[in-house]
Amino acid sequence: MRIGELAERAGTTTRALRYYEELGLLPARRAGNGYRAYDEEDLRLLRQIRLLQDFGFGLEETRPFVECLRAGHPEGDSCPASLEVYRRKLAELDDCIARLQDVRAQVAGQFERAVRARDELAAEEVRPPRCEWEE
């Protein structure tokens, strides 16, 4: 298939495919007429790249998965290098989640403080004035 068809089937652009080719993620094969030629295996590589990008992986992080598929493995994540990328990404996500939980706790604390302050102010506003002889 030609580049336009591959881009359409992969849900991307021809520009992106050329960029993947520059990075060495997508093989650059030419047909006899000089046009780029792709097959179903290239589509499979692209789907793996796009899935990982949807998960937040950078293009360079997809390389071990692509290489694993190119080596003939049925899944791009069955090779040791791919598993290591997963480990690093999970650690990165765990760190991000922990930081977000800290920020959430701080925002919740500020919110609770603000609500208490508002309630205290509202209670003072509705309190009738006290006379000196009242206790």
**Per-residue pLDDT tens digits for 81-132:** 999 999 999 999 999 999 999 999 999 999 999 999 998 888 777 666 677 7
What's the mean pLDDT in 58-77? 94
The domains of the chain, with CATH numbers, are 3-89 (1.10.1660.10)
Q: What are the pLDDT digits (tens) for 18-57?
A: 999 999 999 888 888 888 999 999 999 999 999 999 999 9
Long-range contacts of 21-27 (CB under 8 A, 24+ apart): 23/59, 23/60, 24/63, 25/49, 25/59, 25/62, 25/63, 25/66, 27/70
pLDDT at 133: 67
Please, which pLDDT band fits residue 135 given cuts at 50, 70 and 90?
low
pLDDT at 123: 79
pLDDT at 125: 72
Which of these, 81, 2, 93, lies nearest to 39 by C-alpha position? 2
